[in-house]
Structures are given as structure tokens and as C-alpha cells.
Amino acid sequence: MPCNPRYEILFEPVRIGPVTAPNRFYQVPHASGMTNALPRVRAAFREAKAEGGWGVVCTGACSIDPSSDDAPLPFATLWDSNDIRAHALMTEAVHRHGSLAGVELWHGGASVMNRTSRLPPLSPSGIPWMATHVGFMGNLRPKTMDNADIRNVLRCQADAARKARTAGFDIVYVYAGMGYLGYEFLLPEYNHRSDCYGGPIENRVRFVREMIEVTKDAVGKDCGVALRVSLEELRGRPGRNQPSEAHELVELLADVPDLFDVKMDSSPTDCSASRFTGEGSHEPVIDFVKSLTKKPVVGVGRFTSPDTMVSQIRRGVLDFIGGARPSIADPFLPNKIREGREAEIRECIGCNICISSWHDGVPVRCTQNPTAGEEWRRGWHPERVERADRPERILIVGGGPAGLECALTLGRRGHEVTLADSSRTFGGRLTFEKTLPGLSAWNRVVDYRLGRLNEMSNVSLHAESTLGADEIIELSPDRVVLATGARWTNMLYSSLEIPVGRLDHPDVFTPDDIAGGRLPEGPTLVFDFDNYYMGGVLTEHLAVHGVPVSYATPAGQASAWTIMTNELPLVHRALARRKVAVTTLHLLKSFDGETATLAHLFTGEETRVACHSVVIVGLRLPRGELFETLTERADGLAAAGIRSVDRIGDALAPGAIAHAVHSGHKLAREIGADIRWQPYRRDTPIVDAVADFDMRTAAE
């Protein structure tokens, strides 16, 4: 189908200094967790986006010098010739599809601890960044930069820019956001200097201006130079000659970079989860930038709707539609819009499991796109799968995220697929979870897959179909896949931090009870040792339904693991808005129908909470009864010609939805082939015996 005329503006070329982007789709720099240690994985991951139509594809934060060392978190480097060759794999891959390649040169300043390089962190005024979270070996404090340090960083930026040009990058960044060095010069809380780099905004901008200038001198006419800058904090500060210091910053630098990449200041607001923030949330902070510069502007906002994208362009908010999370969820988003296939877009659900991957130090994962990070390792293309040599009849029992993904991929491979679920609707756990506060966008996992499955003549969907072992054997498919999910238990939690014993009482509930329509009588205590989203969001759900509720956890924060998805502060704010009392570092010891007894995790001191019911959000276990029954009937399976019975998703190992989708996809790719237990390809760094990094640089 042709492109909808409304969307043709998105495919106009835009000039960035000496280079021209073929369209307005701009994959902004974002962490991938791949680094120079996995150069082929990184190149294939970025190449998929170029193939999918992103006109600009950037790599994430790339250190310019060992004084910017973020280990053990994953970070890329441009320090020596090995690094140039590693990055060249990515630029060559991106260029194969006619896209521009960009690199985000980065110095972390006081936000890094240089654990590996053991060089003093640098700071405009010796002020540590996020002192309660960042520390190393007795809370090493950063060094106050003197003029020699400033000159050295400027030289390192220029050297890295030249290396970037040699590696084939078309756009080279100066980074002044998210707490890193350039940003620290911009904020007076961290910049207490009294020289020409401190004081009024004109002076605080000087370091960033000089970084841009040395970058432009280094790359000459070969590359565009972009400034990535956080504006949220500065937008809230009144300016002397403009409405805010953010306005003054843009005015002062209006003609200096070739492109402005504008963003928020902290991860919880810059890449906020859909549970708390909708599409286009950055606009109130960055909407003024184009009024003060003639240079193109790119920004993000978890854009998935082409109508929203067009609105941003036509209203003069942005020149480029920036994508990080949406480009991971669907690398082919631009091509689908260009080809009139908007219904096929695999929309980002905003769960931020991708961001948690970086915090975990592993290559990026995505709930919607199970091929993310697997393009080179396993040879998985995000849009294409190999047809089966011999199509088979495959029965999938369970229509949740794992079952739907497995059915879709098997169907694309040409198998004859039957998907059965006992419920009235498909969706599994998401049938309930999508109704919880802020989680409606998560049902895109179901909607996308059902939409594609309903188009396939070789896939049949059967809701309200309860299948036992007898029915499965009678159907006699070639293979059986069980996606029967998991159940929440009423297990307690011990001081050894393991689930132990059950709390049996008529007024003890699990999330499954709430999903089934049972609402506890208040006051209710939610005891959460799952630590991801369910405990917090279920507490909100009860409060919304008028149930007086309090929350307790053995962790140090409510929904503690959501620090990995940038949601933790927003979870606490949400509970505070609902007036929920939060008790941390406590175990649930007992409950008698009127009182719950809590014990402090470390001291054992007991606290009694008056409540009529308890909801335990803790251990999940697979629903394994059907699998056990089938495996006990091996003779019947063989007689029926059933070659295999496999489990996927929560039925195999309960976890996040991303794990379930990946599990279903993996089995569908590999079913019937003798490769399931072979290791994936292992990437290696590109290393010469001697690289050209001058150790004297570090000594200076």
C-alpha cells in the first residue's frame, strides 16, 4: 500500500550541517548494553534499524577518555585504533541501507567513579553527582577541574571526534545532559566556579560551547555536530533576558551546533514508563527550542503514533522524530508507515525492560521485540523468519504472551497452528494486568499479535477451549506446546530472604484472587516480596476501588526492583497520592483475621497492623499439572504421533512478560530442529596485539 499522504512529511530529507538525513526518523543515542566488547552484536542491532527505515541511527554513550569510566555498567569507548575498527562495523552496517550513523561522545564527569581506570573523577567544582547512589571504596570524591583538566578534556573530545570520523560516523555529538560533565557545568548546584566557566549562564555555557567548537574543528566538513542537552531543570529557572535559563542557553548556542538533540534531566522523566507518562511528554519542556534556532531539532517522547509524529513536525516542535524505545520495539516502524502498514507497527509498551537491561549490564531486551539483541547472536531478523522445511501441525495450549508469540512465529514459518485457551479472551495474565492503574498500554503485546494472527489462514484460534490430556491426545497434533502460565502462591518470606511456608487463612489473598474478581475487605495489608510492579500497582488498584490499604515489604523501597526501570520514585509518589502507608524492611510473620504481625528484617522487632485481609504478592510457580499428566502418558503420546511436548513462558519459568515473549519466540524458531541446546554465537572484541592508545594521556 502507498504511504498515507498525511505522513509524507515524515519522509522529507533534512540537512544537518554538511550531511543530509534521508527522512525525519532519527534513532537517537541510547544505551544498548553491547559496548565494544560485542561489536558484531552492536552492529547488527543498529543495522536492523537502518534497514527498517530510520534515517539516522546513533550509537549510545561513547567515552572519550579513561577519565570517563562507567564500569561495571556497560559503556562504549573511542580511545584507540581497536575502538575505531569496532565502531566501523556499525557505521558500515548502517550505511549499507542509506542511513546516517551518529556517535554520542561522552564524558561522565562526577557521575562516574572510574573504578577500572582508577583516575580521579572530574567535576567543575568537586561536587559529587548523586552522592547517595554513586560511590566507590569509601566514597571517592571527584577532583575539582583546573584549567589544565579543562584543556585536556577538550583535547580528548577533539581526538575522539577525529577517531569517530575515521570510523565512518556522519554525526558527532557533544553531550551536556543527564548529569554528565557538560551538564554539571550548566547547573549552579554543581558549578561553583568563580572564573570564566562559572557564575551567570553565559559563563556556565562556555565549556559546552568550547566542546562543540573543538568537535567542529576536528571533523571539518565531513560530519555534522550535534549538541545533546537536558533542559528540564534549566526550564524551571527564570532567565534574565528570557523566560528561563533554558531559553538563554539555546539563544547563546543557537548557531553553534548543527543540530539540537533536546531531552529531560533524569531517567524517570526522560524515559518515563507508560504507567506514569503518555506519548509526547517532553513537549512542555522543549517546545520553545525551534523558536530560538534555525538549526534542526530532534526530541523524543515514546512516539508510536504517526499522527502524533506529524503533529510535532507541523506545529514546529521538532524537525526530527526521535526514537529510542520505539525503535527497539519495532526497528521497521518507519518503513511500515511509508508502506501504509501502520496496523503492523509493534508499538512500544513503555514497560522500560530495555532500560533495566543496561542497569543489569547486559544487551538490551524488549518485551515487544524478542529479536532485540539477537540479530547477530542467534540470526534472528525482526521481520523475517525462515520457512520450515517440513510444516507440522502444532497445538499451543495457552493464549497469553508466550503462546501468542509462539503461534505468530510458527505461523510465519508455515506451520499449521492451533491456539487454544480456556478463557473467553486471549491475553493470559494481561487480561487482568491491563486493567490495573497505568498498564493499559501493555496490552499492545496482545493486540499486535492477535491482529497478525487473525490475518493468517494457517492459524486457528479457539477461546473457551479447555483441553486436558485426553483431548490433546485425541487431537493428535505433531507437536504440543504448553503456555499454561503460572500461579501466585501464599508463601511467606523468611529472614534468609527465601519463600518459606504458606499462610493459610480465608482472608489471605493472592493477585490471582483479585484477578478472579474477589475484592478483599478493608483495611487490607499488601505484603510484597515480588519487588517488581505488581505489589505497588495492585495496592493502587485496591485504593482506587475504595479499599483502605497499606503496603509492607522486606525490601528497602516499595516495588524495589522498579529502580531498574526508572519507576521507583514515581511508584512512591503514586502510593503517596493514594495515601497508602508504606512499611519497608519488614517481614510478615502471621495473620489471624484481625491483626497482621510484622517483624523488622534485621532486628526482629515486631509491629502489629490492624487489618481484615492480607494480599501476598510474592512467589509464582508454573501451572505444571497438564505437563506432568502428559509426560506420564508417554505411550499415549507416541501412539498419537505426538513428537514432543514443550513448555514456554511462565509455564517453564515464571518471570517478566519480556521473558515469556522471548521464550515463545525462541521455541518457535527452533522447534523441530536439532539446535535448541547449541550455544548462540559468542562475540569477541576487536583487539590488536598493540593498540595506539598513549598511556601518557591518562597520566596527564
State the helix-helix crossing angle for 147-167 and 81-95, rounded to 10 degrees.
50
Q: Using 50, 70 and 90 to split pLDDT, how confident is the model at 19?
A: very high
Distance CA 345, CA 335 (A): 10
Query: What's the pTM?
Result: 0.95
Q: Using 50, 70 and 90 to split pLDDT, how confident is the model at 690?
A: low
Q: Using 50, 70 and 90 to split pLDDT, how confident is the model at 138?
A: very low
In this prediction, residue 135 carries a pLDDT of 52
pLDDT at residue 673 greater than cutoff 80: no
pLDDT at residue 536 greater than cutoff 50: yes
In this prediction, residue 698 carries a pLDDT of 40
Question: Is the pLDDT higher at 46 or at 696?
Answer: 46
Give pLDDT tens digits for 187-238.
999 999 999 999 999 999 999 999 999 999 999 999 999 999 999 999 999 9
Q: Using 50, 70 and 90 to split pLDDT, how confident is the model at 695?
A: very low
In 3-state terms, what secondary structure has residue 587? strand
Contact 184, 190 (CB under 8 A): yes
Give pLDDT tens digits for 76-91.
999 999 999 999 999 9
Going from the C-alpha of 539 to that of each of 428, 507, 552, 599, the distances in angstroms are: 21, 16, 10, 21
Q: What angle do CA 103, 109, 115 make, to 5 degrees?
A: 95
**Residue 163 amino acid letter:** K
493 is known as an active-site residue: no
Distance CA 434, CA 440 (A): 4
- Closest to 61 measured CA to CA, from 49, 43, 71, 74: 74
Locate 2 and state its grid cell: 502507498
- Closest to 31 measured CA to CA, from 370, 286, 327, 381: 327
Distance CA 564, CA 530 (A): 14
Q: What is the CATH number that goes with domain 393-485+623-670?
A: 3.40.50.720
How far apart, in Å, do the first and last CA atoms of the chain sit? 60
Give pLDDT tens digits for 122-135.
999 998 876 545 55
Give pLDDT tens digits for 26-42.
999 999 999 999 999 99
Locate 671 and state its grid cell: 522447534
Going from the C-alpha of 435 to that of each of 290, 439, 515, 574, 649, the distances in angstroms are: 39, 7, 10, 16, 21
Contact 575, 536 (CB under 8 A): yes
Contact 566, 581 (CB under 8 A): no
pLDDT at residue 639 greater than cutoff 80: yes
For the residues of 311-368, what is the DSSP string, one character each?
A: HHHHTTS-SEEEESHHHHH-TTHHHHHHTT-GGG--------HHHHHHHHTS----SS
Going from the C-alpha of 93 to that of each of 37, 63, 369, 607, 693, the distances in angstroms are: 17, 21, 20, 60, 26
The residue annotated as part of the active site, out of 180, 183, 197, 448, is 180
In 3-state terms, what secondary structure has residue 573? helix
Locate 67 and state its grid cell: 577519565
Distance CA 61, CA 324 (A): 13
Count CB neighbours of 7 within 10 A: 17
Residue 614 DSSP class: E
State the helix-helix crossing angle for 147-167 and 206-219, rounded to 10 degrees.
40
Q: Which residues contact 326 (CB under 8 A, 6 or more apart)?
A: 302, 303, 304, 333, 347, 348
Distance CA 589, CA 597 (A): 5
Mean pLDDT of 77-106: 97
Contact 680, 378 (CB under 8 A): yes
Count CB neighbours of 694 within 10 A: 12
State the helix-helix crossing angle for 81-95 and 39-51, rounded to 10 degrees.
20
Average pLDDT of the chain to the nearest whole number? 94
Lowest mean pLDDT among 131-145, 246-260, 300-314, 446-460: 131-145
Look at the block and give the residue holding cell 570517563: 68
Partners of 277 in the beta sheet? none
In this prediction, residue 676 carries a pLDDT of 54
Distance CA 289, CA 312 (A): 13
In 3-state terms, what secondary structure has residue 290? helix
pLDDT at residue 462 greater than cutoff 60: yes
Q: Using 50, 70 and 90 to split pLDDT, how confident is the model at 619?
A: very high
HEC string of 72-89?
CCCCEECCCHHHHHHHHH
In this prediction, residue 672 carries a pLDDT of 80
Locate 182 and state its grid cell: 557538560
Give pLDDT tens digits for 373-414.
999 999 999 999 999 999 999 999 999 999 999 999 999 999
- Closest to 392 measured CA to CA, from 668, 116, 1, 84: 668
Q: Which run of H or of E encompasses 322?
A: strand 320-323
In this prediction, residue 659 carries a pLDDT of 98
Distance CA 245, CA 183 (A): 13
Locate 340 and state its grid cell: 501504509
Q: Select from 3.40.640.10, 3.90.1150.10, 3.50.50.60, 2.30.29.30 the CATH code of 499-620.
A: 3.50.50.60
- Closest to 111 measured CA to CA, from 129, 132, 133, 138: 129
pLDDT at residue 497 greater than cutoff 50: yes
pLDDT at residue 137 greater than cutoff 60: no
Q: Which run of H or of E encompasses 471?
A: helix 469-475
Mean pLDDT of 297-318: 97
In this prediction, residue 692 carries a pLDDT of 54
pLDDT at residue 140 greater than cutoff 80: no
- Answer yes or no: CATH 3.20.20.70 is held by domain 8-360: yes
In this prediction, residue 668 carries a pLDDT of 97
Q: Using 50, 70 and 90 to split pLDDT, how confident is the model at 691?
A: low
Mean pLDDT of 305-310: 97
Distance CA 207, CA 203 (A): 8
Answer whether the bond into residue 523 is a cis peptide, omega within 30°. Answer: yes
In this prediction, residue 132 carries a pLDDT of 46
Mean pLDDT of 597-601: 97
Radius of gyration of the chain (CA): 27
Q: Using 50, 70 and 90 to split pLDDT, how confident is the model at 677?
A: low
Q: Using 50, 70 and 90 to split pLDDT, how confident is the model at 696?
A: very low
Distance CA 323, CA 620 (A): 35
Which sequence spans correspond to the domains of the chain? 8-360, 393-485+623-670, 499-620
